[in-house]
Amino acid sequence: GNCYYRAVLFAWLERSVALGNLDSLRSFDAMLRPHRQTPLLAPSVRVCHQILQGWIQKRAACTSKAALRALLGEVANEFNKERSDRSLILCLRHLIAEYLRQHAHEPVALGAGASMDRGDLLTYESWAVAISGAKNIDDYCEQHVYVMNKDAADHVQHVCPRVLRTAVRICMVDRETARCNFIDYGEGSLMATRPGAGESVGSAAQLASVGGHFGVQ
């Protein structure tokens, strides 16, 4: 469903507010500005704009830890409001789709032994077609990214941190054992996978996934 989008966005927004990184909130708002006239998205963009501007003003006015704690409580409560939750997630989905379409023919990464000369370079579009059977990147976005309650595939998990300009670590948990695997996404991570336990991470969102469901750690 929407759990990946919700978990990453909430963690990123909460951390940005906590650290006073208001430029991140302004950047997110600015990315949505061109969509204010898009018929199906405009209402959600307006909701996001009001929320983000409100948090920016309140965070700039915070002069005590108590005031900051109260504001972080507001951030958490906002995601419990159906209208706000839906608007924030829908806008993030559209920004991810926009990134995919803009970078459709750019390389994602070269695997071991891959060669551009052999024509096996993986682009965002070729990846999308391979994992979904979509005709092209536009078809992929229509079927798998824009649609609310559609699970976030690996493609989306790779792109989302780049849209938000952050890093995301997913902790894959097995109910049957105490073992877990960490998967890092974001610039410079190269989707690294490694086992571990008890590690800390300085990313905007560290997620735990059990059976395909995501939650913030």
63-75 tens-digit pLDDT: 999 999 999 999 9
- Residues above pLDDT 90, as percent of the chain: 67
Question: Cα(140)–Cα(123) distance, rounded to whole angstroms?
Answer: 14
For the stretch 158-193, what's the b/e string if a residue is b when 16 or more beta carbons lie within 10 angstroms of its beta carbon? bbbbebbebbbbbbbbeeeeeebebbbbbeeeeeee
Long-range contacts: 32-36, Cβ < 8 Å, 24+? 32/91, 32/95, 35/91, 35/94
pLDDT digits (tens, 9 = 90+) for 28-38: 999 999 999 98
Question: Quick check: 78 pLDDT over 90?
Answer: yes
Is the pTM of the predicted complex or chain greater than 0.85?
no
Output the pLDDT for position 217: 44
